[in-house]
Amino acid sequence: MTTLLSLVVLLPLIGAATALVFRPRPVQRTLSFVTLGTSLVAATSVLVDAWSNDAMHVVRMGGWPGSFAITFVADRLASVMVVIALTVTLLVLVYSVGQKSAGERSAFYHPVYMVMSAGISQAFLAGDLFNLFVAFEILLMASYVLLTLEGSDAQIRAGTTYVVLNVIESMVLVTAVGLIFAATGTVSMAELPARLAALPDGTRIGLQLLLLVAFGIKAAVFPLFFWLPDSYPTAPSSVSAVFAGLLTKVGVYCLIRTQTLLFPGELNDLIVVVGALTMALGVLGAISHTDMKRILSFHIVSQIGYMVFGLGIGGTAAIAATIFYLIHHIPVKTSLFLVEGIIERDSGSSSFDAVSGLARRSPAFAAMFLVPALSLAGLPPLSGFLAKFAIVRAGVDSEQWVAVAVALAVSLLTLVSMTKIWVGAFWGDVEPAASVGVGILRRHALMSMATALVVVLSLAIA
């Protein structure tokens, strides 16, 4: 199992290096599918063993002692996250081939895409803070290239904002890692809880705040979220989809890991306030726009707020609800961006003012939007309802009344904004573009198939 665990991260890196040597697109595409597919098989094997035998697999690279070793750890949560991440990246890869964007035709797209996949898996499996920092650097480089690969002015501007904020995040994170090592003599997350507990309260809280800021930038929480709605809409929909589904979740996952393991119960009230503000400001941004990509980008922020709220509540029930919310949101948000990409590909615009009547022309395509949209809003019996209900119930039990009220209001406003897209793009008259949407599934078969499978994944999670 240790060999399989190593392959989950190493295979995409090897595949990326190979794809840089063999430039023809058919070869690169084949390498990408084979590499990510094999990584998914390896990750699934690790997951099955972790669940069936209640096992935790640990790999220490380089033969260094535990305090210094680069460590990969696959417990049940990490294994689930890696399998879902690889499944989504593989399906989005299918979608991107069907989309035929200028970025996908670049000789660098597939190598960088595999590097990004390796970085995501490495972040989920990291058993030490330095390894986590390296994973974040890999993600920063890969995501910046994917964001700006087509080279438009809007992408370069958005990419500049994106890279500046993420460089700041990297500086804060490496500072935190260095100070933690100086104070405790280790970066191993297995050894840190006991050593951090022995530090003075002020020192420990200062280190916690540094990690909160670093991971908060990656997760796009208040007040560090402004870069996301400006950068994600400029990328091709396939890139936006995998960013929306996975990159911000890496930040949330790291918040969950570090706050529950290293700083249990500390600064919870602050985290609840940050979660409530993130929910509120995200949804207010969403309801003020008519561009579908921008609406969905702001909803990433608002939904991250729910997860941060659950983390701040603390306790077994709230953390379990937060983890479920994290898992459910990956395919839901990914599928919404994929649907938007098909509409944009068909109509040439991401504004729902440019299309109408899609539900009449293609009910099956409309269902591919409606299911994740209702789940995002939290309507039963979908996974979004289960996740929000669990978090709100935990908030009620902990008497976080203001944050609970914000969560309920944000859910209602999410439904309002999803309804606005539905009425504008799907439920309107067939004018002004009567040809848009006719035979949309047939014209974009690969994109539609990949999107449908991501929607099915979101239903399976429920």
Mean of per-residue pLDDT scores for the chain: 88
pTM to 2 decimal places: 0.92
DSSP 71: E
What confidence tens digit (pLDDT) does each residue in 56-78 have? 888 887 666 656 678 888 889 99
Q: What is the pLDDT of residue 85?
A: 96
- Measure the CA–CA gap between 292 and 294, rounded to whole angstroms: 5
Query: Angle at Cα 180 formed by Cα 176 and Cα 182, nearest 5°?
Result: 120
Position with higher pLDDT, 437 vs 369? 369
Distances (CA, A) of 410 to 193, 205, 227, 385, 413: 35, 30, 21, 13, 5
Residues whose CB is less than 8 angstroms from the CB of residue 340 and which lie 6 or more positions away in sequence, other chains included: 237, 292, 293, 296, 350
**Contact 36/117 with Cβ under 8 angstroms?**
yes
Mean pLDDT of 374-393: 92
Q: Where on the phi/psi map is residue 222: left (φ > 0), alpha (ψ -120 to 50), or beta?
A: beta
Residue type, 51: W
What confidence tens digit (pLDDT) does each residue in 339-348 have? 998 888 877 6
DSSP 114: H
Report the range of poorest mean pLDDT among 48-52, 80-84, 176-180, 321-325: 48-52
Query: Positive or negative CA dihedral for 388, 394, 397, 401?
Result: negative
- One-character DSSP codes across 26-82: HHHHHHHHHHHHHHHHHHHHHHHHHHHTT--EEEEETT--TTT-EEEEE-HHHHHHH
Task: Assess whether pLDDT exceeds 90 at residue 283.
Answer: yes
- Measure the CA–CA gap between 13 and 199, rounded to whole angstroms: 38
Q: Considering all CA atoms of the chain, what is the largest pairwise distance in Å, rounded to the nearest integer?
A: 68
Residue spans of the domains in the chain: they are: 1-259, 267-462
- Measure the CA–CA gap between 82 and 193, rounded to whole angstroms: 24
Q: What is the pLDDT of residue 357?
A: 76
Percent with pLDDT over 70 in the chain: 93
Distances (CA, A) of 88 to 6, 97, 341, 342: 20, 14, 16, 17
Q: Which residues pair with 71 in a beta bridge?
A: 60
Give residue 207's pLDDT band: very low, low, confident or very high (50, 70, 90).
Answer: very high
Is residue 429 exposed (0-12), middle (13-18) or buried (19+ Cβ within 10 Å)?
exposed
Distances (CA, A) of 160 to 164, 226, 230: 6, 13, 11
